[in-house]
Amino acid sequence: MLRFTLLILLPVLAGGACSLTDEVPHVTGNDTCESPAPLPSGGGLFEGSMKGLQDDFQLSCSEAANPDAVYTFTTTERSRVWIRSFGKGRPTAALHLKQGGCGGASVKCDKTTTSGFLTHTTVEPQILMEVDPGEYALLVDSAVDYTLRSSIGPVREVSGNDGCEAAYEIPPEGGIFKGDLREASDDAALRCGKVTSSVPHPDVVFTFQLHQKRRVLINNEPEYGLGAPYADTAISLRKGSCEGAELLCNSYSSAGSSVMAGFDSILEPGRYYFHLDTEDSNNAGPTGLYRLDVRFLPATEAELENAG
């Protein structure tokens, strides 16, 4: 089994210390707004301890009397924020995101939910949204130690990436990338996706570089309700060469109507390319707007073992 050391460099703040292990940073002492732990640009994976922390905040979506931990981060452009927490032994209670620091305006609060009658399903809290530039505080409400996973990346408009020579470079922090397939030509033929008509199926190309083994999530959700058509799509991933053999191919039609085109995989270091292509749909012609969500996440030990 391949093992590696994940190094994420974080400043040590008074009271909010981060210590490195062979797997993920451990965060302790981030009890108040005066001693928060920073979430780095791009996000990461952290082990949080509630030892010695107090119940300093009343979260708007949870009445639980649990200790809370404080994190902060800053965005310099409109960004996609995705944060999830997982409790050790029992769920964390809630996550609360505020703009302007601890005393700022509430942006979103989410708590653990349980559903089902005979078989209960527990969904721990998560925050997934686009935010404006600014300073943010994240409050983690939990009675137990927890794992925090975050991904923070820009929201950008993309154009001109029509073909391998013009592939758009996705930054290491990932993000949301929006574009219009009506501006592209039909250059690629993928091994997945429903193509039954003779009309052109335009495609665009993206590329990214991994310097460490990473869990990579790529998902395209068409832009609905903007007065323009949207497209059902397929995504094809290649390594090393833009025109090399496909590693993965997934489409809207093959994934099912409730899942958009994309994949969630552990990838080795290297240069990758992927085509976002269109397929025939009952909803619209094979062209239109897209909204691509890309996340590069440190993989947990369990995820590495499952990946072989």
Q: What is the pLDDT of residues 102-116, one digit of tens each?
A: 889 999 999 988 765
Token readout for 106 is 């509430």
- Model confidence band, residue 6 (pLDDT cutoffs 50, 70, 90): very low
Phi-psi region of 90 (alpha: psi -120 to 50; beta: other; left: phi over 0): beta
What pLDDT was estimated at residue 257?
Answer: 43
Contact 289, 223 (CB under 8 A): yes
* pTM, entire model: 0.77
- Model confidence band, residue 226 (pLDDT cutoffs 50, 70, 90): low
Higher pLDDT, residue 64 or 135? 135
Over range 44-68, report the average pLDDT.
88
User: Does the pLDDT of residue 254 top 70, yes or no?
Assistant: no
- Rounded Cα–Cα distance for residues 262 and 250 (Å): 6
What pLDDT was estimated at residue 3?
Answer: 35
- Model confidence band, residue 24 (pLDDT cutoffs 50, 70, 90): confident
pLDDT-wise least confident of 119-133, 158-172, 270-284 = 270-284
The CATH 2.60.120.380 portion of the chain extends over 17-153, 158-306
Over range 125-139, report the average pLDDT.
95
Contact 298, 263 (CB under 8 A): no
Token readout for 10 is 């974080």
> Which among 197, 225, 209, 211 is positioned nearest to 289, based on CA atoms?
225
- Rounded Cα–Cα distance for residues 292 and 205 (Å): 12
Which CATH architecture group holds 158-306?
Sandwich (2.60)
User: Does the pLDDT of residue 270 top 70, yes or no?
Assistant: yes
Fold of 17-153: Jelly Rolls (2.60.120)
User: Does the pLDDT of residue 229 top 80, yes or no?
Assistant: no
Over range 207-229, report the average pLDDT.
79
* Average pLDDT value over all residues in the chain: 80
User: Does the pLDDT of residue 198 top 70, yes or no?
Assistant: no
- Model confidence band, residue 4 (pLDDT cutoffs 50, 70, 90): very low
pLDDT-wise least confident of 58-67, 71-80, 239-248 = 58-67
Contact 37, 71 (CB under 8 A): yes
Over range 22-38, report the average pLDDT.
86
Token readout for 112 is 């653990």
Contact 70, 36 (CB under 8 A): yes
